[in-house]
Amino acid sequence: MKKLLNKRIIVGLVGVIAVVAFFSFKNGDDRNFQLAKNLDIFNAIVKELDMFYVDTIDPNKTIREGIDNMLLSLDPYTEYFPEEDQSELEQMVKGSFGGIGSLITYDVKMKRSMIAEPFENTPAAKVGLKAGDILLEIDGKDLAGKNNAEVSQMLRGEAGTSFKLKIERPNEKGGRTPMEFDIVRESILTPPIPYSTLMENNVGYISLSTFSGNPSKDFKRALLDLKKQGATSLVIDLRNNGGGLLDEAVEIANYFLPRGKVIVTTKGKIKQASNTYKTLREPLDLDIPIAVLVNSGTASASEILSGSLQDLDRAVIVGNRTFGKGLVQVPRTLPYGGTMKVTTSKYYIPSGRCVQAIDYKHRNEDGSVGTIPDSLTKVFHTVAGREVRDGGGVMPDIVVEQEKLPNILYYLMRDNLIFNYATQYCLKHPTIPSPEKFEVTDADYEDFKAMVKKADFKYDQQSEKILKTLKEAAEFEGYMTDASEEFTALEKKLNHNLDRDLDYFSKDIKPMIASEIIKRYYFQRGGIIQQLKDDNALKAALKILNDQAKYKEILSTPVAKK
């Protein structure tokens, strides 16, 4: 009944409220009449439900669901933030929020949240919270049954406010030790440059994690520092960088491009939404060779930076196709402390293309949206005449196939077995070698395997599922009699064998264990160092930067085919 109620409310909402906040129309205009008419209908429906519906409705919940579903019928990025959710919006825009500075995860068996990763130099790390700490109470309020979002909201608050946190910490004896902490919240800033270093052959490396806040200043410092150390080429890592502020992307692009270059153009319905963004300052380095690492998590402002450097033939892009977010949002103030992040324009990078991939205007019958097929994308050209396409993110100049993780690894992580092993490992090892030198030994891995077996670990094998489906199809189509022996033999070969799978996939599981352990001692920076040890995309970037002839060939005017 509730679903039916929500659907009826949504019908009254669709296409109404969002537009009213921004546009006005002439008296007597049919569009103006339709807006007023539907708002009256919606208002009447809510009042009638409140008075006559058999159960008491929660106006906040009912209307919020209606608003969310109305906005969902538009594009994926237009969102409403009521007054109590402003900290979430602030984090998106400023890259900061009031809190303790820690990721939390949920333990399904205990039905409680626990500390997953405290960030360096934050209140969580300063008071001594550790990964694996189980969250029991906040200011005396029991957290049992609360999900991660609810617990996270309780941990956040204004910088300078304090609270008492009660936890249980796993101990070496296999039990849990209760502990209490008095924590003062601080303004938590997501580090825009979690790691930078000088690699072999004088290649500088900068990991840029966000465009929120003011990352261009941190990037400039890291770049100049690397150049002082002797960097003669540069890797910019934008993988899993979901974007942020457009101006910051333009500013960083300006470090490598001449003054006066058009980086991005926005086009919207109203004049204020249409702008051209150019480089305004003198560059820092016009000649340093650059490779930019991207993947499917590279989005928005990250695509502006990588796409503009590609369109202007200033960098070689390496990795996987980017996410494809070609829309721009701005916050609009609403009554009662609310804010709406609304899509006001599309953006176009120097070649003239828009990288928007999700075709939100053409929905499937079930309301879902797909991506624009490659066959419908259009060809554009870089300054040098190289072909690039719109409608599907930024396609790298050098594509590096993303490694597929084995099925067993997903279940080991889902059941927190790698996480729990790292917690126990840290109890036995007060210190470990530096991230560059640390490795999971064969003895460590045997301990991990023993823990997994003791936990009665179960996981789905895709091959068994597919075989079962094939067997059912063979029986349905009458082939089973002739193929029964072959199926029996195949079933024996695909028999579930945990020992065999843990050994066979050890090369994939060991690095994940190492990463989880290293982060306990060296935080986010250590995790990145571990990731880069055997990174195929980084290897491809280093290879092209160390082959200047090939580098220049990729960025040069294509030779006409005879």
In 53-85, alpha helices (H): 59-72
Tokens, residue 175: 């039990």
Q: Closest by alpha carbon to 358, among 345, 349, 369?
A: 369
561 DSSP assignment = P
pLDDT at residue number 541? 98
Angle between helix 301-311 and 246-254 (nearest 10): 30
DSSP state of 353: -
pLDDT band at 361 (very low <50, low <70, confident <90, very high): confident
Mean per-residue pLDDT, 89-118: 86
Determine which one of 311, 313, 397, 415 is catalytic.
311
pLDDT tens profile 185-209: 999 888 999 999 999 999 999 999 9
Q: Which residues pair with 106 in a beta bridge?
A: 113
Residue with the larger pLDDT of the pair 324 and 5 = 324
Domains 96-189 and 206-335+345-402 share a fold: no
CB 87 within 8 A of CB 111: no
CB 307 within 8 A of CB 243: no
Tell me the pLDDT of the chain averaged across its residues: 89
Please pick, among 130, 166, 261, 325, the residue that the annotation labels catalytic.
Answer: 325
368 counts as catalytic: no
Collapsing DSSP states into helix, strand and coil, what is residue 343? strand
Q: What was the pLDDT predicted at 17?
A: 44
Exposed e or buried b per residue across 81-93, where buried means at least 16 C-beta atoms within 10 angstroms of its C-beta: beeeeebebbbbb
Query: Averaged over 170-174, what is the pLDDT?
Result: 85
Place of tokens 């500075």: 101
Comparing 44-53, 369-378, 550-559, the range with the smallest average pLDDT is 369-378
Contact (CB, 8 A) for 181 and 164:
yes
Domain spans of the chain, in order of start: 2-73, 96-189, 206-335+345-402, 407-460+497-541, 462-493
- Three-state SS string over 486-547 comes to HHHHHHHHCCCCHHHHHHHCHHHHHHHHHHHHHHHHHHHHHHHHHHHHHCHHHHHHHHHHCC
Q: Tell me: domain 206-335+345-402, CATH 1.20.200.10, correct? A: no
pLDDT tens column, 460-469: 766 666 767 7
pLDDT at residue 89 in the model:
79
Q: How many CB atoms lie within 10 A of CB 545?
A: 25
**Confidence at residue 367, expressed as pLDDT on a 0 to 100 scale:** 65
Tell me the C-alpha distance between 420 and 432, whole Å: 17
Taking a C-beta distance cutoff of 8 angstroms, is the pair 188, 97 a contact? Answer: yes
Q: Provide the sign of the torsion angle of the four alpha carbons 362, 368, 372, 373, taken in this order.
A: negative
Residues 512-528 have a mean pLDDT of 96
Catalytic residue among 113, 196, 300, 306: 300
Which fold is adopted by the domain 96-189? Pdz3 Domain (2.30.42)
> What is this structure's pTM?
0.85
Residues 6+ apart with CB under 8 A from 230: 198, 202
Average pLDDT (480-498) is 71
Check if 196 is active-site: no
Residue 233 annotated among the catalytic residues of the structure:
no
**pLDDT band per the 50, 70, 90 thresholds, residue 496:** low
Q: How far apart are CA 206 and CA 531, in angstroms?
A: 14
The edge-to-edge listing of strands for the beta sheet with 233-237 is 195-199, 203-207, 233-237, 290-294, 316-319, 398-399
pLDDT value of position 24: 45
Q: CB neighbours of 300 closer than 8 A, spacing ≥ 6?
A: 211, 242, 243, 244, 323, 325
- Helix (H) or strand (E) holding 8, with range, is helix 2-13
Opening angle at CA 444, ends 441 and 449, nearest 5: 125
- pLDDT tens by residue, 23-78: 444 445 788 899 999 999 999 999 999 999 999 999 889 899 999 999 988 998 99
